[in-house]
Chains A and B, each alone.
Chain A
């Protein structure tokens, strides 16, 4: 029996309707840290998207969410990823330099 074909047959309509209902595929965004500041956050953030934080500065920083959703400790030159799990505004800052701050606006 041709299981591959059969699986495709059943799966196909399902994934088509799924594609209609679901929004666009999750995206990867970048947010760079340089010269003692977070770059302006990317626009159009959606739940499920990923942010890659890039520490291009010569100093260690963190990307820390005030609501506890993420806390990345980034040595100079390092990167780290976080996934956006819920909609809303997420204020973030650097634990080592609390005057470094920003806000992500995440839509559902």
Chain B
């Protein structure tokens, strides 16, 4: 991989607007770490969707959030089943910790907003989040995945998250 470390690349993408220091991880991620990062990213988006469903009254936003909750839960269920079958125990690592930290900051920021301001911030964050996760998947997680079934599930996830990213961008443009 390029000059960046894997934690570094995800951090640059995810934390471009935040100060969160990320402990550099100089080695390529292992399969248990990759599984943990991908699972964490999915769980974060399910939680963001639940927040949107508790706050937004807009049918378009609610439908989008329902899709996010359903799809990310589905892919995470598939990931858990695969990990169990392969005997992989997802392993916490600095990148997944940084993702969680960033997500709780975002959730706290969005909790202060209401109505159209909330909807706008939620969609903007969904675009940024899916962009960051998609670059991490294509540049770091998929190339480093050793198990072919794990790699294949990550590739499926990338197709799904790209569709989500485009959907979020479309909603963002509609509401501009």
Give the interface of A toward B (CB within 8 A): 35-37, 58-60, 76, 95-100
Contacts and interface: CB of A to CB of B under 8 A. Distances in A.
Contacts of A96: 67, 70-71
A59 B170 contact: no
B159 interface: yes
Interface residues of B, number: 16
B163 A58 contact: no
Closest 8 CB pairs of A and B: A36-B159, A97-B163, A99-B166, A96-B67, A99-B163, A59-B71, A59-B74, A36-B163
20 contacts: A35-B156, A36-B159, A36-B162, A36-B163, A37-B159, A58-B75, A58-B78, A59-B70, A59-B71, A59-B160, A60-B70, A96-B70, A96-B71, A97-B67, A97-B160, A97-B163, A97-B167, A98-B166, A99-B162, A99-B166
Given A35-B159, A36-B160, A58 B166 contact: no
Contacts of B167: 97-99
A86 to B, nearest CB: 28
Contacts of B164: 97
A76 B75 CA distance: 12
Given A58-B74, A58-B75, A100 B163 contact: yes
A101 to B, nearest CB: 11
Interface in B136-176: 156, 159-160, 162-164, 166-167, 170
A97 B74 CA distance: 15
Given A58-B74, A98-B170, A99-B166, 18 more contacts: A36-B156, A36-B163, A58-B75, A58-B78, A58-B156, A59-B70, A59-B74, A59-B75, A59-B160, A60-B70, A76-B74, A95-B63, A96-B67, A97-B67, A97-B160, A97-B164, A97-B167, A100-B163
